[in-house]
Structure formats: structure tokens, C-alpha cells
Amino acid sequence: MNKSIAEYLLELRHELVGCDPATVLDALSDTEDHLNTALAGAMADNPRLSEADALDGVIVRYGTPAEVAAAYRDTENRTRPALAAPESYYERSAGSRFFGIVYDPRAWGALLYMVISMVTGIVYFTWVTTGLYLSIGLLVLIIGLPVAYLFLMSFRGIALVEGRIIEGLLGVRMPRRSLFSQRDLRWWQQLKVLVRGRRTWATVAYMVIQMPLGILYFTITMVLLVLSVGLVASPIQRYVFDMPIIRTEHYVIFMPDNLMPVAVCAGVALFVLLMHLARGLGRLHAKLARAMLVGK
Amino acid sequence: MTFTDNELTDKKFQKELNSGTAALVLLAVLERAQEPMYGYQIAKHLDTGSEEVPVKQGALYPVLRALEVGGLLESQVEPSVTGPPRRYYQITSTGRDTLRQWIEIWNRTKTFVESSLKGNRHE
């Protein structure tokens, strides 16, 4: 056999073609971690063994790429994907499909995400622009390199945090990948890997566009939310506080009594519509985040 | 690599058997463990020293992940001194309850299969 860990991983990736990308990343990181640890263990147990022979022994116990891929494929087929939505809630009549969304935890999570994404978006944008300009500005001095390194590492950290938020609120798997495929790199070598890495710059782009997107999500959500709550609360406005809906210097207009039920129903419907919108936007956003933050 | 038909059938039979037993074994190991364990530790614990083990180590990881999705295990990633962060697994209380039931099912299955293999008839 006599192949290296990198070759083994390449073969495994090849065997996993067609699987969910999250499964592929899981399998590769599990395998890489295991082979490295097991190889180090085997070499320590028997120092006279050559690395290639030790790795052969490790792989015999771990299984061939085809066997390992089959195991992941098998498990993927048998288990539901993480946080799969309870679809059965709204697979009935059109009415219950429309209103059933209030039982969908993902829609509530997406609604929350729409609201907080403005805050996170502004934080990411500020951090990424500060980091980039500071690093570029300081590059004329030698101090610019460690500053750039620290900022690029922090972007990776933020990508992980954003991934956790998206997993929790939007219910889409955002697998983690170990940072560097090679170990024992000095920081400047890591910096080189970071600067050359396509994913570093995809993360930077994500952090930049997250601000306008966050503001958009927040605005849409807030406008619809306030409108629907206002409509639902119109009887309170009329009968408890005796407030008109329009007041000018010359006249006031109260909502007619017979329109009251219509307003309340419209408010409820608008809120449910907002939840559908939030879930839809959440799905789209999760796709975007997955493409930019966890791509290969 | 090529296999003869017999070898392929044997492998398939072994795989079908493993799809349940691997989960049972992993739950049992983690139930007895005093502290959370990571994948390689578990694999090492199950290593009998022979190359002909029923379950390849590589097949344990997807099962660990599936058990976590099912809520029977929980995991957390902790940084390690020597390399990339490691995922440590530990059993949940649902996992313990499930294991108790699975052991019963396993014992029933074992008795049933063994008595069938010995040719005893239940009449």
C-alpha cells in the first residue's frame, strides 16, 4: 500500500463524491485527525518502525477509503440531517400549511436571526475594515505582518462564531474544518497559508456584505413586525386608550367598529406571512453563508 | 483490490451486523468511561490487537456523529496541546436509558441466535 495521509484523504474525498458536503467535511476531518494521532501513537510504541510501515498498520485498522466512505454514506442514509425540520406539521391543508409555520422552530430562529443580523453585520464590517486597513497601513513597518496575521486569524474565528449562530438559528449544518492541513507551521508560514487561502477572502467578503444584508433583513422584519402588531392592537388603541388612527388640526378619524375584526385578522396574517418570509430568507442566507464560510 | 464473490458476501453480512452493534458498543464504552473520550481514544480502547476486527475504526466515527444527532451522546470540541482541536464525546442521560434497553434487546437477540445455531427448537 504505502500511501501518505494526504493521498489517503484524497482517495477518501474521491469516494465520497455525491455525499452532502457536510458529511464530506466530517469524514475528512475525522479521518485526518485519527490518522495523525494513530500514526504518532504507533511511532511512539515502536520507534524502529518506518513511518510508511506504521501508517500501513494504522490504515489496516482504520479501513480502506472505500470502506470508510461506505460507513459515512450508510449513516447519512439512515439518520436524518441535523435539525431536520418537522415537515409533517404543515403537510396538510393549505390553511394549516400557512398557519402551521408558527410551530416551526426554524421559522422563529430565522426571525431572530433577521433581527440580530444587523448588529452582527455592523460588528463584522467594522472589524474587517479596521483590520484590513490597519494591516495594509502598517505593512510598511515590520509590525504590519503580525497585525495582519492576528486579524486574519480573528476573521477565521468570527467565521466559526457566525457558523454556530447559523446552525443554531437557521438549522443548517456549518461544519468546522481544522485550520491548517499541515502542522508545526510557524506563524509567518500560517500567514502565507491564510493570505493565499481562497476561504480567507470569501470570509472577508461575507463579513463586508453582512452589513447591508443585515440592515435589509432588520428593516424588512421590523417594518412588518410593527405593522402587524399595530393592526392586532387596534382594538386596544380604540377602546382602551380612545386614540384615533388619524389626527389633524381639524378632524380625527377613528377606526370604524366593523373594520376592527378585519384589522386584527390582517395583523395576524401579516405576522404569519412575515414568518414565512423570514424562513425563506433564512434558507437563502444559509446557502450563501455555507458557500462563503465552509466551501472547500 | 478485487474480492471473490464469497468475500463480498461475507463483508456485506458483517456490515449488516455492524450497523447495530457498533452503536451499542460505543454507547457501552462511553457509559463506563469516567470522563469524555475522543475518537482515537475510543478506537484504541476497542483495539484487540488483531487486524481482523469486526468493525473498522473508520466506521466508528460516523456512528459517533449519528449518536450525537440522535441525542444519545453529546460532544464538545476542546483544543489539544499537540494538534488540531479534538471532539470529546460523552453519554447523555437519554443515552444511558437507551443503552439499558439495547442491552436487553441484545441479550434476547443473542440467546435467540445462539439457540437457533445450536439447533434447539422452540416448540
Chain B residues inside the 8 Å CB shell of A33: 39-40, 83-84, 86
Chain A residues inside the 8 Å CB shell of B66: 75, 78-79
B78 in any annotated domain: yes
Predicted confidence at residue B2, as pLDDT, reads: 55
CA–CA distances in Å: residue B85 to residues A51, B64, B88: 23, 17, 10
* Average pLDDT of the residues of chain A: 84
Q: Indicate whether A130 pLDDT > 90.
A: yes
Q: Do B69 and A82 touch (CB under 8 A)?
A: yes
Percentage of residues of chain A with pLDDT beyond 90: 26
Amino acid at B108: R
CB A200 within 8 A of CB A152: yes
Kindly state whether residues A286 and A177 are assigned to the same domain: yes
Find all residues with CB under 8 Å of A240, minimum gap 6, and list them. none
3-state secondary structure of B14: helix
The predicted complex's ipTM stands at 0.79
Tens digits of residue pLDDT in A247-285: 888 888 887 888 888 989 999 999 999 999 999 999 999
A230 in any annotated domain: yes
| Rounded Cα–Cα distance for residues A81 and A64 (Å) | 25
| Rounded Cα–Cα distance for residues B60 and B63 (Å) | 5
Name the residue among A199, A208, A157 with its Cα closest to residue A290: A199
Q: Which of B19, B40, B51 sits opposite A34 (nearest CB)?
A: B40
Kindly state whether residues A205 and A230 are assigned to the same domain: no
Predicted confidence at residue A84, as pLDDT, reads: 44
A to B CB pairs, distance under 8 Å: 84
Tens digits of residue pLDDT in A60-69: 888 889 889 9
pLDDT tier at A184 (50, 70, 90 boundaries)? low
Kindly state whether residues A227 and A261 are assigned to the same domain: yes
The structure's pTM equals: 0.57
| Rounded Cα–Cα distance for residues A40 and A58 (Å) | 10
What CATH number should be reported for the domain holding residue B66? 1.10.10.10
B99 in any annotated domain: yes
Chain B residues inside the 8 Å CB shell of A62: 56-58
B123 in any annotated domain: no
| Rounded Cα–Cα distance for residues A200 and A215 (Å) | 24
Tens digits of residue pLDDT in A221-249: 999 999 999 999 888 888 888 788 888 88
Average the pLDDT over A27-40 and give the result.
Answer: 87
A97 in any annotated domain: no
pLDDT tier at A83 (50, 70, 90 boundaries)? very low
| Structural domains in chain A (count) | 3
Percentage of residues of chain A with pLDDT beyond 70: 90
Predicted confidence at residue B25, as pLDDT, reads: 92
Cell numbers 449513516 correspond to A75
Strands of chain A (E only): list them: 246-247, 252-253
Q: Do A38 and B58 touch (CB under 8 A)?
A: no
Chain A residues inside the 8 Å CB shell of B47: 61
**Cα B36 to chain centroid, rounded:** 16
